[in-house]
A and B are shown apart, each in its own frame.
Chain A
């Protein structure tokens, strides 16, 4: 079965960087993309961007351009989210999610368990 297992909670100081991993299994990694979605405490979901599992192409939300890097390691079927210059409003649970695309429809049937990133001085 498809599984996405994320790395553990992180506490960072303002201005620091964080790297969250998403280890996948149960499917061919290079056939699907991974999106990253975050959720601030008590807030809604926010799409951060997408990376292709096939060739590493990325599509970042403009809000995060210049601060975010998404990468993959196909040898370990793992995706990574790197967020720099952290601010207190980056405190959130970060989810990785595997996509599914067919005939123009795009959706995310599989999600990681989430990684809490706390930014505090």
Chain B
């Protein structure tokens, strides 16, 4: 199975900050990497697919980059509604494994 490692596990930031979350795969997954946002008690929501493609309706302050084994999710200009947990997922080969999640908290 492909292991996905996110860092950091948690992050404190302020409204307006720019934050970056990284996700590393244990082997190359090309660009088959998705990012999801999850708020407490809710289902995950798709933010970015195929490493850098913004899902429909997602604000442009979210962006993704990377290929191979190293990927990043960047939020430029944090808004109050962005404080949540972020998950990466590889869809290069089954099982489609997730990272352990990054909890973004208000400083």
> Nearest-CB distance from B28 to chain A (Å)?
14
Q: How far is the CA of A37 from the CA of B87 in the complex (A)?
A: 13
Q: Closest chain B residue to A95 by CB distance?
A: B43
A112–B43 CB distance below 8 A: yes
| A59 located at the interface, meaning its Cβ lies under 8 Å from any Cβ of chain B in the complex | yes
Least distance between A87 CB and chain B CB atoms (Å): 19
State in angstroms the CA–CA spacing of A45 and B85 once bound together.
11
With contacts defined as CB atoms under 8 Å apart, how many contacts are there between chain A and chain B in the complex? Answer: 59
- Is A107 within 8 A of B50, CB to CB? yes
B-to-A contact residues, CB < 8 Å: 1, 31-32, 34, 36, 38, 43-46, 49-50, 53, 55, 87, 89, 91, 94-101
Contact A61 B43 (CB under 8 A): no
Using Cβ atoms and an 8 Å threshold, which residues of chain A touch B97? 47
- The interface residues of chain A, by DSSP majority, are classed as strand
Distance between Cα atoms of A108 and B32 in the complex (Å): 12
* Residues B43 and A44 in contact, CB atoms below 8 Å apart: no
Bound complex: CA A62 to CA B49 (Å): 25
Identify the A interface with B (CB < 8 A).
35, 37, 44-47, 49-50, 59, 61-63, 95, 97, 104-109, 111-114
A98 CB to nearest B CB, Å: 11
User: Given A45-B87, A109-B46: A61 and B94 within 8 A (CB)?
Assistant: yes
Do B91 and A106 touch (CB < 8 A)? yes
Q: How far is the CB of A39 from chain B (nearest CB, A)?
A: 9
Instruction: Tell me the complex Cα distance, A109–B97, Å.
Output: 16
Query: Which residue of A is nearest B57, CB measured?
Result: A109
In the assembled complex, how far is the CB of residue A55 from the closest CB belonging to chain B, in whole angstroms?
17
